[in-house]
Amino acid sequence: MSRTRIKICGLTRVEDTQLACDLGADAIGLNFYPGSKRFLTLEQARRIRASIPAFVSAVGLFVNPERSEVESVLEALHLDCLQFHGDESPGFCRSFALPYMKVIRVREGLDIKEEISKYSDSSAILLDSYDKNAFGGTGLRFDWEVARRCVQDKLARIVLAGGLRADNVAAAIAQVQPYAVDVSSGVESAPGVKDTQCLKAFFDEVNRV
């Protein structure tokens, strides 16, 4: 099994971003969804983006945005990848000439294979828990067996999210063998505020597998 990459999402503070990068984060998630407690203004995002070193990707998270919203962010700062967490069409996702990652919220009755096939040109597919009241960052987990089958069937590069913490991420990786793991609330002391010890423990567990 190859090395499991790590994305830390929902960062709102420069010091947390720097720590995550120092610990070995492969990607940092910047949240531009106004309905999120981890939403960043452009000024906040600029400061955080400036603290991300070379070889760490900056990922912009959007939920059902207007085209102008994405374009205004891209005009203000450089992003390496876009992450779409809503009901965006494949055409919309690919229209910004940047690599993109599509989030699929796993729920009963959803044909995962069919849904993934719609976004065949995505850089990765992020599987997250479904919550009718929130788009990610809920701390809820779904049945990892669904993700394992997606990896086994080589449907896409699978990024595993949803309810991951230091005490379960090693088991998740062992079962699913994902391309990457994505964590937000599982390493926080409050929404958008990362806990130093939780972050360190999370990286230790991923690197241990």
Question: What's the whole-number mean pLDDT along residues 175-204?
Answer: 97
- pLDDT at 194 (0 to 100): 98
Average pLDDT of the segment spanning 90-111? 95
pLDDT tens per residue, range 122-134: 999 999 987 766 5
Buried b (16+ CB within 10 A) or exposed e, 69-106: ebeebeeebebebbbbbeebebebbbeeebbbbbbbbb
pLDDT above 90 covers what percent of the chain?
A: 90
Q: With CA atoms as reference, report the closest residue to 45 among 86, 69, 78.
A: 78
Contact call for residues 81 and 123 (beta carbons, < 8 A): yes
Residue 9 annotated among the catalytic residues of the structure: yes
Q: Does the annotation mark 150 as catalytic?
A: no
Q: In sequence order, what are the residues at sequence separation of 6 or more whose Cβ sits closer than 8 angstroms to the Cβ of residue 114?
A: none
Q: How confident is the model at residue 155 (pLDDT cuts 50, 70, 90)?
A: very high
| Predicted pLDDT at 91 | 98
| Encoded amino acid at 192, one letter | G
Across all residues in the chain, what is the average pLDDT? 94
Element (H, E) at 46: helix 42-50
The average pLDDT across 74-100 equals 97
The reported pTM is 0.94
Domain ranges of the chain: 5-208
Tell which residue, 135, 116, 138, 114, has the closest CA to residue 125.
Answer: 116
- CATH hierarchy code of domain 5-208: 3.20.20.70
Whether residue 191 has pLDDT greater than 90: yes
Question: What does the pLDDT read at residue 136?
Answer: 53
Average pLDDT over residues 55-75: 98
Query: In the structure, what pLDDT confidence band is assigned to residue 46 with cuts at 50, 70 and 90?
Result: very high
Q: In this structure, are strands 180-183 and 188-190 parallel, antiparallel, or unpaired?
A: unpaired
Q: Which is the catalytic residue, given 26, 128, 150, 182?
A: 128
